[in-house]
Amino acid sequence: MSETLGFIGLGNMGVPIAANLLRAAFGLCVYNRTASKAAPLTAKGATLTASPADVAQPGGIVLTMLADDRAVEEVCLPGGSFVEHLSPGGIHISLSTISPVTARRLAEHHAKYKVDYIASPVFGRPDAAAAAKLWICNSGPAAAKKRVQAILTAIGQGIFDFGEDAGAANVVKLCGNFLVAASIETLAEMLTLAEKSGVSKKAVAEMIGKLSPLHSGYANQIAEQKFEPAGFRLALGLKDVNLIMRTAAASMTPMPLGSLLHDRYVSAVAKGRANLDWSAIALGVAEDAGLALRKAAG
Amino acid sequence: MSETLGFIGLGNMGVPIAANLLRAAFGLCVYNRTASKAAPLTAKGATLTASPADVAQPGGIVLTMLADDRAVEEVCLPGGSFVEHLSPGGIHISLSTISPVTARRLAEHHAKYKVDYIASPVFGRPDAAAAAKLWICNSGPAAAKKRVQAILTAIGQGIFDFGEDAGAANVVKLCGNFLVAASIETLAEMLTLAEKSGVSKKAVAEMIGKLSPLHSGYANQIAEQKFEPAGFRLALGLKDVNLIMRTAAASMTPMPLGSLLHDRYVSAVAKGRANLDWSAIALGVAEDAGLALRKAAG
Amino acid sequence: MSETLGFIGLGNMGVPIAANLLRAAFGLCVYNRTASKAAPLTAKGATLTASPADVAQPGGIVLTMLADDRAVEEVCLPGGSFVEHLSPGGIHISLSTISPVTARRLAEHHAKYKVDYIASPVFGRPDAAAAAKLWICNSGPAAAKKRVQAILTAIGQGIFDFGEDAGAANVVKLCGNFLVAASIETLAEMLTLAEKSGVSKKAVAEMIGKLSPLHSGYANQIAEQKFEPAGFRLALGLKDVNLIMRTAAASMTPMPLGSLLHDRYVSAVAKGRANLDWSAIALGVAEDAGLALRKAAG
Amino acid sequence: MSETLGFIGLGNMGVPIAANLLRAAFGLCVYNRTASKAAPLTAKGATLTASPADVAQPGGIVLTMLADDRAVEEVCLPGGSFVEHLSPGGIHISLSTISPVTARRLAEHHAKYKVDYIASPVFGRPDAAAAAKLWICNSGPAAAKKRVQAILTAIGQGIFDFGEDAGAANVVKLCGNFLVAASIETLAEMLTLAEKSGVSKKAVAEMIGKLSPLHSGYANQIAEQKFEPAGFRLALGLKDVNLIMRTAAASMTPMPLGSLLHDRYVSAVAKGRANLDWSAIALGVAEDAGLALRKAAG
């Protein structure tokens, strides 16, 4: 068996990622606030610990897959955290989509304990995580990145490297999410135009699916107004758009399309759609055009 | 040899399309305002006619590949046009990107002469045309579409059918162009965000290229600020955005992202960029963020 | 009695304006498609004619107050129109809000008959017209403007001069309408913000009314969601926004706030609000924020 | 002599406001970080204190006029602050434009010491402050508001009451600033349209000045591209727009015009215009239209 790793955060993404690490013959010490989520992993040989700090050992490696900036900070910053347990010579691989500013602050914090911070946010939904088909954006100290390569290879299909700045990988991850959110708005406007011009939305969605794989799934969802169950909750979409806008503000970058997306997500939440899929901003596009909505969707 | 077809409009797209028809063993009578453009085709057996009307024979088929609504109308509407020569039982296949309104008006006009109008606007640049790899949006009378199938198969890699409404295929073509223009704006904003956040634009563009083929070429052009020579002139981009907005207005469809694109293209032309590639709206995004531009680009 | 003038177009604005000319001791020959509208004027001494051409005499002056570009063109351009009857040395004062392009075309047309075209679009609703309190934007040949000064003084409280270009006064009039439409959007967003933040819309509207007379009426209408009866129909608001956007397009001027207004008006018409007051775009602002609307308003 | 008041914050606004309180026969204990700013006030009888806490006495009244949320919090929240010195029965009148959220938090904080918080942000620039012509938005406990009425009357020309919620007056103040910022964008777009259509910007600005006092000053500044010296710095404009957008986000209110303003201000700062007047966003509007700018303005 290879090295034993720590893993904190066993949600929809964390569980399948951790399972792939076990499959690749890594040992695993896992922690989750709701301990029961660990069952499928302990069944395959993982050890469940009583506190997040216990997953780490001096000079070792810990991965975290947590919901947002605050969750990552809560588990990293308090005295006696897993970061101190990693000291000296350990590595923290942070898989979450968080703000570049937070990432840089964490890297500075970790450095005091001689622990390296690697930002490794991932593209892909739970099914891609299960299939070890994630795409990984990566930034951090070169030596540390080299050391963790086998780990990332076990969970993804490709790694994109963005240098040593701890914030860089998260900037790129937010760019990617922006691309997807913008594609949703684009599809919503064009399918609404088709419908109002008397052309079948579904036929257009089918064509788009053939011409651009990135747009395929969303084109169909929007054409069919099928927004439940949520693959990615709209409330989380707003959270990500907010991260994008805050990152833009930090560097004085005007993003008018970002602003348009922001207003759409705010409106969708105001209309009670926080728990639909984040492509449900398309409902607002249809409403603005005076179209009646499918019953189930509202 | 199969049937002899008429072909009007021998520009960057028309010539390679016509060449593929010859290659597929169709006979061709061609016309172009600048007759010298026909040379590569007559060399392969096409007949050059003295007037556009002469390419047609009663009950035959004529394809047109012309610059815009006006050019198509000028060749179709006057008395004694090729449409009358096709009468009765002929077919006009219109490959140009024009307004759905114009397409419907032409179909009505042709009907008076018992000529069918098939709208067949195409996706793809000259290199795709040369490789017979165009994607074709198709709408018009079912029997006529069946009769021309071998022709369209000879020039494209796939046909998408949108029913009998003459305007439908053009609505869909405009939807597709909207998708591309929106992708340009999206890439421009995200690459500007990356640059202002200290992340390599080129590295991000490379990643995008792997994740989404549709975005690949534009991502690189924008990252390198390389907008000459123009694959598709910015002035034509504005023309298409105007067609989209006019089609949206006709059906009372608000398209805020369409409006944003409209303002970008208007601004780019106002700044003297009409002859750059239509992805050069990215220069405006960079300027708004206070970035200096590459010399060659401005 | 002073000179006898011709007057064409007896709608909500035309009648009170014509009445003020009679009050100022001008003679009047009037024409209206629906002749019965002339009754209040003939009762005060005006002569009703059977055709629009008959209101004019060689070297005289004719005012028109018509609905839109087309209506003005229909009465001016055909052979035998009042313009020919004014020839030579007559003056046409056009009070309508039309496109600058149309105004310039009319000036050229009139010049062939040695008739001067003065563009004199007005600010003010019917009550201001009745009180002779219109504000008048003016452009055209200097000598002609001097000759008609007493006429314009009789119907307005102030004249703003914009030189000799026939299109200039209409550009300015459209600028003014843009200012008002933009104020409506501004008030709608701020009052919605107030309401969603738990602050009384009516109290805010009252304050605005004291600080800025221009905003007073609209602030109250929006705070009370009272959009009927329409002071200015929303469908006409869309017409004017379209004129603005077309004028902007003609000079390659991006107007993102203009685009935002355009999308709002399109959406409001798509939602069936064409006959409400043009400030009813505020309903869309409230809906986007998830607010329930007053019954009567929807 | 009436009661002696405390006053903290002697900037461009604070000094003339404090002078008016002296003129109205109030006693004044003043504090400012840069003590020299107090000279014109001590010359007229004010007492300068060594620390902000010293301006207060139990049961008394203190006014603050500070730059932003942080400045107000720094002077209020630490142990031993003037708020504790006011306890019990004192009143804090906060004149600054701050976030409603901060205002509510301060009111809660003060309540622990039995001190009332009155939010009294003001409309008006230094010249209006000097002339005691400020307009005051007011919210807070009714009894406290009654007790301070003579004070507010001494510095303003009118008080608008928005109830007891400490945040309300600041919501309204932000609404007012939004109205002004939106008017700047509106004027910039319309004057650019005029210029590009060949119409004199100055003539249009002059007309606007007569029709709407609120727009008069800005219309002239924009027509003349005269943005120095700054009446209100553009960087502060961005700060206020950010407060507006954050307040909108807190209540899930989409404000597309707010977003447009946000992007304009971010762009202007990115272009190095932070120290020009906040109406200098008009330069961006002109640049987008391809207009050359006046030398001095860039």
Q: Is the bond preceding residue C229 a cis peptide, omega within 30 degrees?
A: yes
Helices B281-288 and B256-270, interaxial angle, to 10°?
Answer: 90
Q: Which of A281, C264, A204 is nearest to B177 (CA)?
A: A204
What's the N-to-C CA distance of chain C in angstroms?
Answer: 52
Cα B270 to Cα D214: distance, rounded to the nearest angstrom: 31
Q: Would the CB atoms of C270 and A263 count as touching at under 8 Å?
A: no
> Which residues, other chains included, contact B133 with Cβ-Cβ below 8 Å and sequence gap of 6+?
B124, B156, B157
Packing angle, helices D213-224 and D168-196, rounded to 10: 50
B229: preceding bond cis by omega (within 30 degrees): yes
Q: Are strands B27-31 and B4-8 parallel, antiparallel or unpaired?
A: parallel
Which residues of D fall within a CB distance of 8 Å from A255?
263
The residue among B1, B15, B2 whose CA lies nearest residue B155 is: B15
- Please tell me which of the candidates C174, C189, C211 has its beta carbon nearest to residue D257: C189
Burial of A34 (0-12, 13-18, 19+ CB in 10 A): exposed
The model's pLDDT over C69-106, given as tens digits with 9 standing for 90+, comes to: 999 999 999 999 999 999 999 999 999 999 999 999 99
Amino acid at C97: T
Q: Which residues in chain A touch residue D253, judged by CB atoms under 8 angstroms apart? A: 266, 270
For residue A256, which residues of chain D lie inside 8 Å, CB to CB? 259-260, 263
Domains of chain C, each with CATH number or no CATH: 4-165 (3.40.50.720), 171-297 (1.10.1040.10)
Distance separating alpha carbons of residues A57 and A41, to the nearest angstrom: 20
Cβ A34 vs Cβ A56: under 8 Å: no
Q: What angle do CA A140, A145, A150 make, to 5 degrees?
A: 150
CA B249 to chain centre: 21
Task: Give yes or no for D157 touching C (CB within 8 A).
Answer: no
Q: In 3D, which of D114, D124, D73, D111 has the Cα closest to residue D94?
A: D73
Partner residue facing A260 (CB), from B172, B215, B257 = B257
Q: Give B1-42 as a DSSP string.
A: ---EEEEE--STTHHHHHHHHHHTT-EEEEE-SSGGGGHHHH
The answer for residues whose C-beta is within 8 angstroms of residue A37's C-beta and 6 or more apart is A10, A11, A15
Residues pairing with C48 in the sheet: C30
* Per-residue confidence (pLDDT) for residue A297, from 0 to 100: 43
- Catalytic-labelled residue, pool C112, C114, C145, C173: C173
| For testing contact with chain A, the best of C265, C281, C287 (most A CBs within 10 A) | C287
- Using an 8 Å CB-CB cutoff, list chain B residues near A256: 189, 260
The pLDDT averaged over each successive group of 10 residues in chain B (298 residues) is: 90 96 97 96 97 96 96 96 97 97 98 98 94 97 98 97 97 97 98 97 96 92 95 94 97 98 98 97 97 63
* Strand, helix or coil for residue D7: strand
Q: How far apart (Å, rounded) are the C-alpha atoms in residues B215 and A212?
A: 9
pLDDT for B240 = 95
Closest to B297 in 3D by CA, of B273, B274, B278: B273
Helix pair A256-270, B168-196: axis angle to 10 deg: 110
Substitution target from B190, B212, B216 for chain A, most A beta carbons within 10 A: B190
Inter-residue contact A142 to A118 (CB < 8 Å): no
Among residues D5, D86, D13, which one has the least CA distance to residue D232? Answer: D13
Q: Do C248 and B256 touch (CB under 8 A)?
A: no
Q: Which residues pair with B161 in a beta bridge?
A: B138
Asked whether the predicted pLDDT for residue C295 surpasses 70, the reply is no
- Supply the pLDDT for residue B1: 54
- Dihedral angle, C-alpha D47, D52, D58, D63, nearest 10 °: 80
Which helix or strand (DSSP H or E) is residue A288 part of?
helix A281-288
| Mean pLDDT for the stretch of residues C22-37 | 96
Which regions in chain A score pLDDT beneath 70? 1, 294-298
Residues C70 and D8: their CA atoms lie apart, in Å, by 64
Which partners does chain B have (≥3 C-beta pairs < 8 Å)? Answer: A, C, D
pLDDT digit string (tens) for D181-233? 999 999 999 999 999 999 999 999 999 999 998 899 999 999 999 999 998 99
Which tokens hold the place of D140? 């807070």
The rounded Cα D127 to chain-centroid distance in angstroms is 13
Residue in B256, B263, B270 nearest the CB of D290 = B270
Position D295 scores a pLDDT of 55
Q: For residues C250-278, give the mean pLDDT.
A: 98
- Under a CB-based contact definition with an 8 Å cutoff, are residues B28 and B18 in contact? yes
Phi then psi for residue B200, to 5 deg, are -65, 120
Does residue C224 belong to the interface with chain A, where contact is any CB pair within 8 Å? no
Strand partners, B5: B28
CB burial class (10 A; 0-12, 13-18, 19+) of residue A36?
Answer: exposed
Place of tokens 């390569």: A149
Tokens of residue C187, six digits: 């008030």
Mean pLDDT, chain C, rounded, equals: 95
Q: Where are the alpha helices (DSSP H) in chain D?
A: 14-23, 39-42, 69-76, 82-86, 100-111, 126-130, 142-147, 149-155, 168-196, 201-211, 213-224, 234-250, 256-270, 281-288
User: pTM to 2 decimals?
Assistant: 0.95
ipTM reported for the complex, 2 dp: 0.94
Helix (H) or strand (E) holding C203: helix C201-211
Chains touching A, CB cut-off 8 Å, 3+ pairs = B, C, D
pLDDT given at position C213: 85
CB contact D272 to B (< 8 Å): yes
Edge-first strand order for the sheet with D134-138 is: D122-123, D134-138, D156-161
Which residues in D200-234 are b (16+ Cβ under 10 Å) and which e? bbebbbebbbebbebbeebbbbbbebbbeebbbbb
Torsion angle defined by CA atoms of residues B187, B189, B192 and B196, in that order, rounded to the nearest 10 degrees: -140
In whole angstroms, give the CA distance from residue C167 to residue C170.
6
Tell me which residues of A are annotated as active site.
173
**Token pair of C96 as six digits:** 């309508």
Cβ contacts of residue D175 below 8 Å, gap of 6+? C190, C191, C193, C194, C204
- Cα→Cα distances C207→C204, C210, C259, D180, D248, Å: 5, 5, 29, 14, 20
Amino acid sitting at position A172: V
Residue C190 identity: M
Is the CB of C183 less than 8 angstroms away from the CB of D186? yes
CB atoms within 10 A of CB D34: 8
Is any Cβ of chain A less than 8 angstroms from the Cβ of C254? no
Annotated catalytic residue D173: yes
Please provide residue C137's backbone torsions phi and psi, each rounded to the nearest 5 degrees: -90, 135
pLDDT at C196 over 90: yes
Residue C178 near residue D186 (C-beta atoms within 8 A): yes
- Using CB atoms within 10 Å of the CB of residue D194, give its burial: 0 to 12 exposed, 13 to 18 middle, 19+ buried: buried
Q: How far apart are CA A165 and CA B200, in angstroms?
A: 11
Smallest CA–CA distance, residue D266 to chain B, in Å, is 8
What's CA C163's distance to the chain center, in Å?
20
Q: Which pLDDT belongs to residue B214? A: 87
User: ∠ CA D182-D186-D187 to the nearest 5 degrees?
Assistant: 120
Residue A158 · residue A135 · CB < 8 Å: yes
Q: Which of D139-165 are b and which e, b meaning 16 or more Cβ less than 10 Å from the residue's Cβ?
A: bbbeebbebbeebbebbbeebbbbbeb
The residue assigned the tokens 């009765």 is B88
Residues of chain D where predicted confidence (pLDDT) is lower than 50 = 296-298
Pair of tokens at residue D238 = 């961005």
DSSP state of D222: H
Please tell me the predicted confidence (pLDDT) of residue C208.
95
- Using the structure block, give the residue that is written with the tokens 């009661």: D3
- Cβ–Cβ gap B161/A203 under 8 Å: yes
A91-123: b or e for each residue (b if 16 or more CB lie within 10 Å)?
A: bbbbbbbbbbebbbbbbebbeebebbbbbbbbb
Q: What residues of chain D, 116 to 145, have a C-beta less than 8 Å from chain C?
A: 123, 135, 137
Q: Pick the closest to residue A36 from A54, A21, A48, A28 (CA basis).
A: A48
